[in-house]
């Protein structure tokens, strides 16, 4: 069989019942840097791994705020994520303007899945080449949702997507039962420890961390706070060996970043306590962790 006969159009099925363009979009998620999402009873955390910066440009954002109670972490084509982020913001703003209340998360994710499904059914469209981890908090508690280019939506206890995310999957599988009872600092450290398995040993570990929870609007931690957590939360022994010698220079650089809220005077507010789960050793295999495996 020649695949080229069946992958010119998203509406054309192969003899094996496959939609190749949808599969290609799913592969795009695996080419993006890793994202990890996990939740406790009162907090949801997403952690994104930045690509290394080069001399000609800065890293693109990994976490996009949507509303006071929700944000997304992306893996894949950033331009597609920007379109979906704009759609989610518009939906949340319209609902808040009409009802003076936050958009119910289950309905928001359902509508997002329906929008993405249209792109897999029309010949003049292509699937969105990006995967999302959506962190949110509403009256039903904290939520982590996985949304894929195939328009499948999963309600998760914890999830990792992106390049080399299997190691993070393994870590999350190992410790999933402890997440509901973690403190906020411990949960963030679990996210950092999990994503350390997806990071290249040849590059510094530079992360973007987003949190949302009870009495905590969605917030992307400042660079100083993020770096402080990275230094405090020691990775497991079998994860990549972190070289934190770059920390002082990176912190100095981030303090003078134009859009960074944290400066020299804010360093005292960054968390410095050592979490109690920093010395656990993960297992070597794991699977997707879902509350609800139906799409």
Residue 1 within any structural domain of the chain:
no
Q: How many CB atoms lie within 10 A of CB 169?
A: 23
In a 3-state reduction of DSSP, which class is residue 128? coil
Structure confidence at residue 61 as a pLDDT band (50, 70, 90):
confident
Which ranges of the chain would DSSP assign to H, the alpha helix?
20-31, 78-99, 105-118, 166-175, 184-195, 223-232, 247-255
CB 230 within 8 A of CB 245: no
pLDDT in tens, 220-267: 999 899 999 988 887 665 555 444 443 444 433 433 333 444 333 343
What whole-number percentage of the chain has pLDDT above 70?
A: 75
Integer angstrom CA distances of residue 249 from 8, 48, 179, 277? 49, 21, 33, 28
In a 3-state reduction of DSSP, which class is residue 263? coil
Q: How many CB atoms lie within 10 A of CB 146?
A: 22
Q: Are strands 70-76 and 63-67 parallel, antiparallel or unpaired?
A: antiparallel
Domain CATH code at residue 247: 3.60.20.10
Domain holding 94, by residue range, is: 30-286
Residues 252 and 102: their CA atoms lie apart, in Å, by 38
Residue 22 within any structural domain of the chain:
no
Residue 219 within any structural domain of the chain:
yes
SS3 content of the chain, % helix, strand, coil (to 5): 35, 25, 40
Q: How many CB atoms lie within 10 A of CB 63?
A: 22
Q: How many CB atoms lie within 10 A of CB 174?
A: 18
Residue 16 within any structural domain of the chain:
no
Residue 15 within any structural domain of the chain:
no
Residue 193 within any structural domain of the chain:
yes
Residue 277 within any structural domain of the chain:
yes
CB 150 within 8 A of CB 132: no
Helices and strands of the chain, counted as H and E runs: 7, 10
Residues 107 and 153: their CA atoms lie apart, in Å, by 12
Q: How many CB atoms lie within 10 A of CB 55?
A: 4
Residues 93 and 100: their CA atoms lie apart, in Å, by 10
Q: How many CB atoms lie within 10 A of CB 7?
A: 17
In a 3-state reduction of DSSP, which class is residue 256? coil
Q: How many CB atoms lie within 10 A of CB 240?
A: 17
Q: What is the mean pLDDT of residues 56-72?
A: 86
CB 37 within 8 A of CB 179: no
Residue 186 within any structural domain of the chain:
yes
Structure confidence at residue 58 as a pLDDT band (50, 70, 90):
low
Torsions phi, psi for 184 (to 5 deg): -60, -45
pLDDT in tens, 119-170: 888 887 889 999 999 999 999 999 999 999 999 999 999 999 999 899 999 9
Q: Which of 237, 227, 231, 228 is nearest to 197 (CA)?
A: 237
In this predicted structure, the answer to whether residue 66 has a pLDDT above a threshold of 90 is yes
In this predicted structure, the answer to whether residue 276 has a pLDDT above a threshold of 50 is no
Tally the domains of the chain: 1
């Amino acid at each position: 069989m020649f695949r080229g006969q069946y992958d010119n159009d998203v509406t054309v099925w192969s003899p094996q019942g496959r939609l190749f363009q949808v599969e290609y979009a799913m592969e795009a998620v695996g080419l993006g840097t890793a994202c990890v999402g996990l939740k406790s009873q009162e907090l949801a955390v997403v952690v994104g791994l930045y690509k290394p910066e080069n001399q000609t440009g800065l890293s693109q954002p990994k976490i996009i705020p949507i509303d006071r109670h929700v944000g997304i972490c992306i893996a894949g084509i950033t331009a597609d994520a920007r379109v979906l982020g704009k759609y989610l913001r518009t939906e949340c703003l319209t609902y808040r303007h009409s009802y003076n209340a936050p958009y119910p998360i289950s309905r928001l994710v359902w509508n997002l899945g329906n929008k993405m499904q249209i792109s897999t059914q029309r010949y003049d469209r292509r699937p969105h080449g990006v995967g999302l981890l959506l962190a949110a908090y509403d009256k039903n508690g904290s939520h982590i949702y996985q949304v894929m280019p195939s328009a499948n939506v999963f309600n998760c206890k914890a999830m990792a997507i992106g390049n080399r995310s299997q190691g993070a999957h393994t870590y999350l599988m190992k410790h999933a039962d402890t997440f509901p009872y973690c403190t906020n600092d411990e949960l963030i450290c679990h996210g950092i420890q999990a994503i350390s398995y997806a990071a290249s040993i040849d590059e510094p570990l530079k992360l973007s961390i987003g949190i949302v929870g009870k009495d905590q609007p969605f917030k992307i931690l400042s660079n100083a706070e993020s770096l402080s957590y990275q230094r405090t939360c020691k990775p497991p022994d079998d994860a990549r060996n972190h070289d934190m010698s770059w920390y002082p220079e990176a912190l100095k650089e981030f303090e003078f970043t134009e859009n960074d809220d944290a400066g020299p005077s804010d360093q005292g507010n960054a968390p410095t306590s050592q979490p109690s789960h920093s010395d656990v050793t993960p297992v070597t295999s794991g699977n997707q962790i879902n509350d609800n495996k139906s799409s």
